[in-house]
Structure 1
Amino acid sequence: MIKQVRFTKKQRVVDELVHRIESGLLADGHLLPGEDQLAQELRVSHSTLRAALTELERRKYIATRTEGGAIVTYDGITLDQHNGWTQALANTGARIHTELLRLEAIERPDLLHQFGLSQFVMLERRRRRDDGTAISLERSLMPATGGLEGLPRVGLIDDSLTITLAAYGFVGDRGDQWIGAEPLNEEDALLLGRPAGTVFLKALRTTYDRHGRFMELVESWLDPVHFRMYHSFGTPT
């Protein structure tokens, strides 16, 4: 009987957290509340909670945050890119204004071999400081499937791409990101208000959801005056 009760409580916690994740209440990249708070909120013991979290991690609904690795900073403050650039920048306290430049359906036959599709929804956004200086330009490509094909008509939910993707069942699980320094071409330089050839940081990130589906390809141009890449290594003493 004790084992049955413990299993039932664990399953209840698993089901509740899965519901929150899949409904978008816990968007990709959001940190779970602390263990004490979560155990109290769900009215279970710490051991039951840990067993539930282990099950969620096994099923790839959550991932343990690890130390080290390369991260991007804005004015020396680390950015949690799992929440998207808008939320990450807002969390720094910086007064950044995001402008939606384009949200439209496009064809990219050149990506058919890589992602298995050529129809995408493209989102283009520019971010400015209070003084009007453009600090970043972002282009996101998403599959024109699973309801996302309607985004050019209905728009984003709460102006958040992360929340919108989660609402359509796309929750990031894995991917990769490349960061380098490249000169701006004429089109991007015009949008950023800089001379062509100005060197910006370029970040290219590909994300897949926990079902292995492609969900986003993001190209970001970042002002190196404010953005830096930080890398930690070794064991803190």
Structure 2
Amino acid sequence: MSELLGRLVNADPVVLRRCLHEPAFNTSIGQVRTIRYQVIAEELRGRLAAGEFAAGRVLPSEAELSRSYQASRVTIRRALESLRAEGLVDSRQGFGWFVAAHPLRQSLARLGTIEAQLEASGRRSERRILGFGFVPAPPRAREVLGDDTVLEVRRLNLADGEPFARVTVWCSEALGAELSRSDIERASFLEQLPVELGGASQTIGAAGCEAVDAGLLGIPVGSPVLVVLRITHRSSGEPVLVSEHVFPGHLTEFAVELDQVDDSLTPRGLRLLEAEAGAEETRRFAGSAGDCPRRRPGG
């Protein structure tokens, strides 16, 4: 290899082209590329093992890694693919590459807190209050709660020290007046409200992450996020909270058990067979009755 490289120094174009087509030269270049991606994969593996990137954390982009390691994106991608084959990293459209992690499975069967679901899955839960104060009610909160002024609380939920969800809660003015920032830092709204809760209704949709949330959640702008809009009400049915929850799409999934089967889902074939069997039985009965000789009067 060194001999071939030496021949390239100050070589004229004819010699250069000849060297580039020599099998030994091409084979050596291929070996260097193979070794390079393996070296990069090993370095990234070490950084993952050292905890530099936590589970679920988005990795630097291929372009950033390419600059950092002074390697082509093809080489970087090959290194990342080898780590994916080991189950260490994964990728998703819109996110790029991230440290492999099992998404939190959130049940929709009952009303609960993010903290409780994280702890039930064995993860350490934290909350950071980003904002606390009374504000003019946004349109949705005004429509649901009927107040022109509401208590707005913005928080960031973390799982094992990593951003997991951005949550904004709007509370009716009367109930909000009984809460302090320290109350909300200590426990969730659901645990603090001095009313009996009856449940909640919520809708779940997908969106591209906006810049502010991207900065809080540590994901690229435009990344897929799950957006949950929830209305929590007391046992009497009166709404008391409106909240918005934004989850990075690769960190959570929602599950609901469907216990009952609608009558329309009964296999149609079974109903047809039963109907045909009943009709055949009716025909046989009618036929046998018609075959019986009639008794003559007085006979």
> What is the TM-score of this pair, normalised by structure 2?
0.47
Code of the residue aligned with 1:195 in structure 2: it is P
Pair 1:226 & 2:256 matched: no
Following superposition, the deviation at residue 200 of structure 1 comes to 0.7
What secondary structure, in the 3-state scheme, does the structure 2 residue paired with 1:194 have? coil
In 2, the alpha carbon distance for the partners of 1:200 and 1:153 equals 28
- Deviation string for 1:136-193 (max 9, x for gaps)? 11111111104x224245533842322211xx22x22143110111111111111112
In 1, the alpha carbon distance for the partners of 2:209 and 2:182 equals 32
2:232 corresponds in structure 1 to: 207
Pair 1:186 & 2:211 matched: yes
Code of the residue aligned with 1:231 in structure 2: it is V
Code of the residue aligned with 1:94 in structure 2: it is R
Pair 1:129 & 2:155 matched: no
Percent identical among aligned pairs is 19
Alignment partner of 2:146 out of 116, 127, 131: 116
1:151 corresponds in structure 2 to: 179
In 2, the alpha carbon distance for the partners of 1:234 and 1:79 equals 13
Code of the residue aligned with 2:222 in structure 1: it is G
Code of the residue aligned with 1:84 in structure 2: it is T
Residue 107 to residue 176, structure 1, CA distance change in 2 (3 Å): same
More helix by share: 2
> What is the TM-score of this pair, normalised by structure 1?
0.58
Alignment partner of 1:197 out of 217, 222, 233: 222
Q: Does the CA-based 8 Å contact 1:80-1:88 persist in structure 2?
A: no
In 2, the alpha carbon distance for the partners of 1:120 and 1:220 equals 18
What secondary structure, in the 3-state scheme, does the structure 1 residue paired with 2:153 have? strand
For 1:38-77, list aligned pairs within 5 A. Answer: 74-76=103-105
In 1, the alpha carbon distance for the partners of 2:106 and 2:142 equals 37
Whose relative contact order is higher, 1 or 2, with alpha carbons under 8 Å and at least 6 apart?
1
Residue 98 to residue 81, structure 1, CA distance change in 2 (3 Å): farther
Q: Does the CA-based 8 Å contact 2:227-2:247 persist in structure 1?
A: yes
2:242 corresponds in structure 1 to: 217
Following superposition, the deviation at residue 103 of structure 1 comes to 1.7
Residue 185 to residue 81, structure 1, CA distance change in 2 (3 Å): farther
In 1, the alpha carbon distance for the partners of 2:120 and 2:146 equals 36
Following superposition, the deviation at residue 95 of structure 1 comes to 1.9
Alignment partner of 1:163 out of 183, 191, 197: 191
In 2, the alpha carbon distance for the partners of 1:205 and 1:195 equals 25
Q: Does the CA-based 8 Å contact 1:81-1:88 persist in structure 2?
A: no
Q: Does the CA-based 8 Å contact 1:74-1:89 persist in structure 2?
A: no
Following superposition, the deviation at residue 84 of structure 1 comes to 1.4
More strand by share: 1
- Deviation string for 1:93-144 (max 9, x for gaps)? 11232212122111115243443112111121112233x4312111111111
